[in-house]
């Protein structure tokens, strides 16, 4: 049995004791939960091997069907009421949204209490079919490797084995424990975002299981929102040498539009808009009849979406060439996750458990950083706490050849997740 750090996990005669060597200021860890976390370490690694062994890119419907069946089976075996949900019908359609998306798995566990708690993660990856052979699951020392293992198959596994621990403890003091695993996160969750938002508004707390960093073990209370601006300009082709005046130069109009929208970033509020891609024309000697450009937008507050969208809509009306046709599309790919007092309180409770019972520091940053998160959809229409990065420590997400999680983070994270569900159920968080 693997033990937690000696400074807070002292054993004598098989029982956990508080002793001077363990620092009297630390609270005693729950021996039952600690024992179960150790027992679940290898089964969790076995689950990771199974999950990584199924390729499940966001556009690989066959792979997503296989992995959703695996996850549904595990949750059903734990006593959950399981649904496989087709989210395609209510999808938010963006330029890169596929016609059909992978199913979401929802498992519901009914308890005897009142609190409604939701645990979320995603099963899809950024990798394409055939890449599994280059990085199959393997364990080397304290690192477990595999495509998608850090982002976010570890999160799926941690949730499954947290539920297994709660079942072993016969703990049912929650009202409803909901597990939601979606299959379209890596393409901005076009199908599942409405479901995540709706369920987030129905629960008293949401814990999201994206992984933490190997360099900085911390929870996330805020992430940036992501949007895109696309300009499509239609002009008229003509010979660039003999009759340029008969053409309508789409590149000139596009350049004008990009230049007049180059100053919309607002450092004071963290709003960023940067043009990143452009394309025009077909031949050097032809006046371009079409031109396109795309900009990346980041916001820290949901309200900033309205502001920046209104600004670009106003600017685009000022054309250089009236004969050109200019079309603008503003896509809200992800809302920001905004830190709240409720989420800070939940994170502080998690930090106390980690420090006092596990003997490890745990950060909780309310500064927006990193990529977008489904936790932001869960928080969109609720005042309840939503906190990200309850997953394992890992590295190399989207890297194709170096993605891993730290094996030694399994027990602490299982302990923390289990304790959080128990304390939330008992209304001990924030009190």
Residue 9: pLDDT over 70: no
What pLDDT score does 370 carry?
A: 57
Q: How many C-beta atoms surround the C-beta of residue 55 within 10 A?
A: 21
pLDDT of residue 365: 87
Q: Do 166 and 158 touch, CB atoms closer than 8 A?
A: no
Say yes or no to pLDDT of 255 above 80: yes
pTM for this predicted structure: 0.90
pLDDT of residue 372: 84
The pLDDT of 240-250, averaged and rounded, is: 97
Within 348-418, strands assigned E span: 363-365, 386-387, 393-395, 404-406
Catalogue all structural domains in the chain, each as residue range(s) with its CATH number.
Answer: 32-223+337-425 (3.40.630.10), 229-333 (3.30.70.360)
Question: Per residue in 332-379, pLDDT tens?
Answer: 999 999 999 999 999 999 999 999 999 999 999 888 865 789 999 999
Residue-wise pLDDT tens digits, 121-131? 999 999 999 99
Q: How confident is the model at residue 7 (pLDDT cuts 50, 70, 90)?
A: very low
Q: What number is the average pLDDT over the span 254-281? A: 97
The chain-wide mean pLDDT, for the chain, equals: 93
Q: Per mean pLDDT, which range of 16-25, 235-244, 266-275, 306-315 is the poorest?
A: 16-25
Q: How many CB atoms lie within 10 A of CB 321?
A: 16
Measured CA to CA, the distance from residue 199 to residue 206 in angstroms comes to 9
Give pLDDT, residue 120: 98
> Which residues are annotated as catalytic?
124, 185
């Amino acid at each position: 049995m693997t033990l937690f750090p000696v400074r807070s996990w002292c054993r004598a005669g098989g029982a956990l004791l508080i002793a001077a060597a363990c620092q009297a200021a630390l609270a005693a860890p729950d021996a039952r939960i600690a024992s179960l976390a150790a027992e679940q370490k290898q089964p969790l690694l076995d689950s990771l091997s199974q999950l990584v062994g199924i390729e499940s890119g966001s556009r690989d419907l066959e792979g997503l069907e296989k992995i959703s069946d695996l996850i549904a089976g595990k949750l059903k075996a734990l006593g959950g009421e399981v649904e496989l949900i087709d989210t395609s019908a209510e999808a938010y359609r963006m330029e890169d949204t596929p016609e059909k998306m992978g199913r979401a798995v929802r498992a519901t566990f009914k308890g005897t209490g009142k609190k409604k708690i939701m645990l979320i993660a995603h099963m899809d990856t950024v990798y394409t079919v055939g890449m599994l052979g280059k990085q199959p699951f393997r364990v080397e020392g304290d690192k477990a490797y595999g495509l998608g293992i850090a982002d976010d198959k570890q999160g799926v596994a941690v949730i499954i084995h947290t539920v297994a621990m709660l079942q072993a403890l016969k703990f049912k003091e929650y009202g409803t424990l909901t597990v939601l695993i979606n299959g379209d996160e890596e393409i901005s969750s076009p199908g599942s975002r409405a479901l995540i938002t709706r369920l987030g508004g129905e629960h008293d707390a949401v814990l999201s299981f994206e992984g933490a960093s190997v360099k900085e073990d911390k929870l996330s209370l805020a992430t940036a929102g992501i949007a895109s601006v696309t300009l499509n300009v239609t002009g008229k082709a003509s010979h660039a040498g003999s009759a340029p005046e008969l053409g309508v130069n789409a590149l000139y109009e596009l350049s004008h539009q990009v230049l007049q929208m180059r100053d919309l970033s607002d450092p004071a509020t963290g709003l960023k808009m940067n043009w990143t891609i452009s394309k025009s024309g077909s031949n050097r000697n032809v006046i371009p009849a079409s031109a396109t450009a795309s900009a990346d937008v980041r916001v820290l507050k949901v309200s900033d979406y309205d502001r920046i969208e209104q600004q670009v809509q106003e600017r685009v009306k000022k054309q250089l060439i009236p004969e050109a046709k200019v079309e603008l599309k503003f896509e809200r790919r992800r809302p920001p996750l905004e830190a709240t007092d409720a989420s800070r309180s939940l994170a502080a409770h998690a930090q106390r458990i980690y420090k006092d019972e596990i003997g490890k520091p745990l950060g909780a940053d309310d500064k927006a950083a990193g990529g977008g998160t489904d936790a932001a959809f869960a928080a969109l229409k609720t005042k309840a706490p939503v906190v990200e990065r309850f997953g394992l420590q890992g590295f190399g997400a989207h890297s194709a050849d170096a993605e891993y999680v730290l094996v030694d983070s399994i027990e602490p994270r299982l302990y923390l997740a289990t304790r959080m569900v128990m304390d939330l159920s008992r209304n001990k968080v924030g009190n």
